[in-house]
Amino acid sequence: MTQIVLGIESSCDETAAAVVDSERNILSNVVLSQIEEHAPYGGVVPEIAARAHIDHLDRLIAEAMAEARVDFDDLDAVAATAGPGLIGGVMIGLVTAKAICTARDKPLIGLNHLEAHALTARLTNDVAFPYLLLLVSGGHCQLVSVTGVNQYKRLGTTLDDAVGEAFDKAAKMMGLGYPGGPLVEIAARKGDASRFKLPRPMKGRDNCDFSFSGLKTAVRRALDSIGDQANDQDHADLCASFQAAVGDVLADRTKRAMGLFEEQHPGARRLVIAGGVAANKAIGERLSTITDRSGFDLIVPPPGLCTDNAAMVAWAGLERLKLGLTSDMTISARARWPLDSLAGATDKPFTGAKA
């Protein structure tokens, strides 16, 4: 029988609600971005985010339910991000989900936000397990072997900044605005990627880890070398050079992980990219050069489902519901919550200061 789940997302600066069914239909998907509220500060301000979630979440849930033409009684479960993320926001979404579940006697699914990103490609492209996942977002940069729901093995992670964070910081240095990723991508289209010689941190290393802080410093030096008179073309060239460096690093690290993944799962040649940075077309094209050569399928969900949304939360909820993996009402919000048991030492707490 078809199951229906309401998803709620509030871990950062998007307030979102969506209704999805087990036949992979997105019945509604409402996302309210708080970009304008945070833009003057050049990054997400946790207090402002939490207040905005409180102000808008109830209305967005009502909108998502109305658009999907379902009543709370029609739901099979309610799924909400329970972490990792900005704790105030996560608490608001999770408590709201608990309230609906209590009032309507529905199962609750408290989800790991990274798991929601990790499983999105199964909603959009019906991808089979196992697959290699490159998770690239504002708070994370990881290579993960995904062998099933709740079965994630981290192959590599960033030693410092997340890749989306690097985009945001580079954009901020150039005064492009927030969030920086999409703005860097647009500017880069008119730029000459060969003008600035930027480093490729970690390239060729004997592991699957990343590092982006050196690249950030190199962008700062390049800007200093131009001086106060940097014009739009200078910025476009720097954006193109930066994006090319990021693309090269992601391709190198991912290629290494593909080798490891194939050793463990012969024949399972699938690479999924997820998270906000997966919305970047140039990065997708760069990664397709390595997947094409190795005979891997490259799966990238549509941009609106790469950046934070609640359809991915509802879908991950459906995947868990199918396996009976529901949550206890006592589940609490977590600022930090590594996707796999290997994680820990190198996982930074998420502070929200993405820019």
- Render 199-227 in DSSP notation, one character per residue: --TTTT-SSS-B--HHHHHHHHHHHHHH-
Encoded one letter per residue, x for contact with ligand KG4 by CB under 6 A and - for no contact, window 103-142 reads: ----------------------------------xxx---
**146-183 per-residue burial string, b: 16 or more CB within 10 A, e: under 16:** beebeebbbbbbbbbbbbbbbbbbbbbbbebebbbbbb
As a whole number of angstroms, the distance between CA 62 and CA 72 comes to 10
Q: Of the ranges 31-39, 40-48, 91-99, 173-181, which one interacts with ligand KG4 (CB under 6 A)?
A: 173-181
308 binds ligand KG4 (CB under 6 A): yes
Contacts from 265-268 at CB under 8 Å and sequence distance 24+?
265/130, 265/145, 265/147, 268/130, 268/131
Q: Which is nearer to ligand KG4, 100 or 279 (CB)?
A: 279
| Binder of ligand KG4 out of 88, 93, 107, 164 (CB under 6 A) | 164
Angle between helices 180-188 and 163-173 (to 10 degrees): 70
Query: Of 144, 179, 6, which is closest to residue 81 (Cα–Cα)?
Result: 6
As a whole number of angstroms, the distance between CA 71 and CA 110 comes to 21
Q: Which is nearer to ligand KG4, 21 or 165 (CB)?
A: 165
Q: Of the ranges 148-156, 164-172, 284-292, 337-345, which one interacts with ligand KG4 (CB under 6 A)?
A: 164-172
Planar angle of CA 151, 247, 270, nearest 5 degrees: 35
| Binder of Zn ion out of 10, 96, 137, 327 (CB under 5 A) | 137
Which of the choices ligand KG4, Zn ion, none does residue 209 contact, using the CB cut-off of 5 to 8 A by kind?
Answer: none
As a whole number of angstroms, the distance between CA 288 and CA 247 comes to 11
> Least Å distance between CB 117 and Zn ion?
5
Q: Which is nearer to ligand KG4, 65 or 137 (CB)?
A: 137
Number of residues that bind ligand KG4 (CB under 6 A): 21
Query: Of 130, 256, 237, 142, which is closest to residue 193 (Cα–Cα)?
Result: 237
> Least Å distance between CB 85 and Zn ion?
8
Q: Which is nearer to ligand KG4, 65 or 239 (CB)?
A: 239
**Is the bond preceding 199 in cis, omega lying within 30 degrees of 0?**
no
> Least Å distance between CB 206 and Zn ion?
29
> Least Å distance between CB 145 and ligand KG4?
20
> Least Å distance between CB 8 and ligand KG4?
15
| Binder of Zn ion out of 115, 308, 319, 340 (CB under 5 A) | 308
247 binds ligand KG4 (CB under 6 A): no
Rg of the chain (C-alpha set): 20
| Binder of ligand KG4 out of 181, 247, 317, 352 (CB under 6 A) | 181
3-class DSSP state for residue 192?
coil
| Binder of ligand KG4 out of 185, 237, 319, 340 (CB under 6 A) | 185
- Give me 67's structure tokens: 């658009």
Query: Given the rule CB under 5 A, which residues bind Zn ion?
Result: 137, 308
Query: Given the rule CB under 6 A, which residues bind ligand KG4?
Result: 12, 137-139, 164-165, 167-168, 179-182, 185, 275-277, 279-280, 307-308, 354
